[in-house]
Structure 1
Amino acid sequence: MENVSVPDGSLPVCNSSEDFYSLTSGNRSDLNCTVPSEFYLYADLYILIPIIYSVICAVGLTGNTAVIYVILKAPRMKTVTNMFILNLAIADDLFTLVLPINIAEHLLHHWPFGEVLCKVILSIDHYNIFSSISFLTVMSIDRYLVVLATVRSKRMPYRTYRAAKIISLCVWLLVILVVMPFTVFAGVYVNPHDERKSCVLSFPSPERLWFKASRIYTLILGFAIPVSTICILYTMMLYKLRNMRLNSNAKALDKAKKKVTIMVFIVLAVCLFCWTPFHLSTIVALTTDLTTTPLLIGISYFITSLSYANSCLNPFLYAFLDDSFRKAFKKMLECKPA
């Protein structure tokens, strides 16, 4: 359904699934439409969403900061895999730091923070989409190389902590380049009807074409390519391990390497669980035309909250799946007398 003009000649009302998706996902584009006032009358959503976001912010900030502290302070934690986990935690921490601003905007129903902060917030919001899956892709490549070297009984002299630092820096720079178009288009839009300000992606005309292009861009670079790469790597990894057991007298992966590989796999699975609905909603927005209903509104906010929740889950996975992390966490919490 196309946008419907209101009788008084003000801006058209956001009424299609594409419009509402763009306004609730946190990755919003200016489609020259306004949210109907009755959307703000859903008291449950108005109260529940800030509570959920606040919990994600508090838990994510605490957990990821603890991960960063443990890796930086404990000498035994300075491994290649933990370097990638460190950068993943930094990216999640960065996102949770700005989440209170999203909460404030939700409660105020307008953007009072200015143009510069709008660009920063929307950039970090999009960075959250690309950074997690990028570092998980790198971690999967690293796991595949470790398995491959083990199967062939070869050493990996190039796999060093310093090399992991350089690769992590390259990932940061790559994601910055990917997010740059969103930074350019981010801006404050003032509704001429009620002068309400919104922090959105203000695309040039035709807005709908640019909106669809941005969603396809995000879907391909933030999901399709990295997830396909990861699936291929893990399929090849399992195939080689199976052949190693059946066709070779070589020893299986030692216990420590098995645990690290399993941890990376579970962290990846949780990431896909949290982000797949978000990217599926992109496909829905691009291919269907659903009328906005209270149910659709609730689903949209649930999908957004689920994707945000990924930023606070990883520290718990490390604590449960990795003995060294668990011991380091416990040591950090110990109160030692002066």
Structure 2
Amino acid sequence: MMELVTVAMETSTDITEYIYEDMTANAGYVCNPIDINEFARHFLPPFYYIIFILSILGNGVVLLVIYKFEKLNTVTNIFLINLVVSNIIFTLTLPFQAVHHSDQWIFGEALCKLVVSADCLGFYSSILFLTLMAFDRYLAVVHCVAASKQRRTCYAVALSSAVWCISLLASLDPIIYFTVEEYPKYGFTCEYSGESQWKVFSLYKQFVLFFLFPLMVFIYCYFRITLTVLATRMIGKHRTVRLIFVIVLMFFSFWSPYNIILMMNENRDPKECGSVLPYAEYVTGNVARLYFCINPVFYTFLGRKFQNHVRGVLKNQASCLSSQTILSGSSRTLS
């Protein structure tokens, strides 16, 4: 039976390189890892740095807009701030992953465990906060009268705490099972060292809890919201429905291919060394991570209120810059 000797479980496959080796006495074959390792070395580091920059800028702007123009203790903003924190936690692991793929793991075993756990924590909590925001919007629109009494600050804090606890528990595997190993050809790697049965369990845990469940919640909540909006005389209801459609479509488009290919790759014949599935898993997994890094930008800037806030920030910055230009020009003229 073939195993991945450097695999970060499928919840964070982008933290390690795929290196296939023959683990049985009678297999009689070895898959050549050179092509996929070279692919990862050239594709992943620049991609991680791009995601890192986009995420820091996008999430930073969202926090700035909320801080300057919004109340921090509203239910929606509490969820949104937690979502931004989730994305930043995940984003901070990307430079480590970029260095690992470009050369080898040079940060030691403690950071190996911490970085992979932070990757999982940010990734899982981001998905759950997106799901929670969909459910909260469902309550606010479909059950607005009953929900108005329950949607308070304590409600948001309690649900956010539950999300962090669930995500933390789901992210403990790397603390236990990850270690740093040295290989003659590949140097030091941060790799999964547990049993294959637990790796398979983790894969299905991710598929059910962090894909199927959020997807069903998304579809149900936004379907009911769409019906409610269309049944009312709400101004701009078509724009609201269009926004809902974009949110669901983006979640499905970015997150579904990775999970589908993940399951296909897990169930394929290990003797099939020329399969394109490992390449596809790299690409789709990182495209999914790109979405979860910058999703607050879509959630905020697709809304008209936040667009107006951003315009206000840009106008203020432009007026400040023009004032400084005028003052500097006047000072040069006087001198």
TM-score, normalisation: structure 2: 0.78
Query: Are 1:280 and 2:271 counterparts?
Result: no
Quick one: structure 1 residues 275 and 225, their matched pair in 2 at CA, closer, same or farther if it must change by over 3 Å? same
Query: Are 1:307 and 2:271 counterparts?
Result: no
| Higher RCO (CA-CA < 8 Å; seq separation 6+) | 1
1: CA distance between counterparts of 2:235 and 2:168?
37
SS at match of 2:106: coil
1:267 aligns to what?
Answer: 247
- Residue 45 of structure 1 deviates from its aligned partner by 5.1
CA contact (8 A) 2:56 2:88 kept: yes
26-35 or 84-93, which deviates more: 26-35
Of the candidates 40, 50, 55, which is equivalent to residue 45 of structure 2?
Answer: 50
Quick one: structure 1 residues 230 and 317, their matched pair in 2 at CA, closer, same or farther if it must change by over 3 Å? closer
CA contact (8 A) 1:267 1:314 kept: no
Query: Are 1:197 and 2:188 counterparts?
Result: yes
- Residue 231 of structure 1 deviates from its aligned partner by 2.4
Query: Are 1:169 and 2:161 counterparts?
Result: yes
SS at match of 1:157: helix
- Residue 55 of structure 1 deviates from its aligned partner by 1.1
Please list the CA deviations of residues 272-330 of structure 1 after superposition, one character each: whole Å capped at 9, or x if unmatched.
Answer: 32221221122112322262338444323211221121134324424541122222223
2: CA distance between counterparts of 1:308 and 1:286?
20
CA contact (8 A) 2:219 2:248 kept: no
1:96 counterpart letter in structure 2? T
- Residue 78 of structure 1 deviates from its aligned partner by 5.5
Query: Are 1:221 and 2:209 counterparts?
Result: yes
**5+ residue gaps, structure 2:** 23-30, 325-335
Matched positions, count: 310
2: CA distance between counterparts of 1:323 and 1:240?
20
1: CA distance between counterparts of 2:238 and 2:164?
28
Of the candidates 175, 179, 186, which is equivalent to residue 187 of structure 1?
Answer: 179
2: CA distance between counterparts of 1:327 and 1:253?
20
1: CA distance between counterparts of 2:201 and 2:143?
41
Query: Are 1:323 and 2:318 counterparts?
Result: no
Quick one: structure 1 residues 306 and 97, their matched pair in 2 at CA, closer, same or farther if it must change by over 3 Å? same
2: CA distance between counterparts of 1:32 and 1:142?
45
Quick one: structure 1 residues 304 and 292, their matched pair in 2 at CA, closer, same or farther if it must change by over 3 Å? farther
2: CA distance between counterparts of 1:126 and 1:92?
11
CA contact (8 A) 1:64 1:315 kept: yes
Identical columns (%): 24
2: CA distance between counterparts of 1:201 and 1:253?
52
Of the candidates 124, 132, 145, which is equivalent to residue 138 of structure 1?
Answer: 132
CA contact (8 A) 2:8 2:16 kept: no
1:280 counterpart letter in structure 2? I
Query: Are 1:114 and 2:108 counterparts?
Result: yes
2:70 counterpart letter in structure 1? P
Quick one: structure 1 residues 138 and 24, their matched pair in 2 at CA, closer, same or farther if it must change by over 3 Å? closer
Quick one: structure 1 residues 13 and 116, their matched pair in 2 at CA, closer, same or farther if it must change by over 3 Å? closer
Equivalences for residues 242-257 of structure 1 within 5 A: 245=231, 251-253=232-234, 255=236
1:83 counterpart letter in structure 2? I
TM-score, normalisation: structure 1: 0.77
2: CA distance between counterparts of 1:70 and 1:265?
25
Query: Are 1:65 and 2:60 counterparts?
Result: yes
1: CA distance between counterparts of 2:94 and 2:226?
38
2:160 counterpart letter in structure 1? S
SS at match of 2:313: helix
- Residue 114 of structure 1 deviates from its aligned partner by 0.9
2: CA distance between counterparts of 1:23 and 1:39?
23
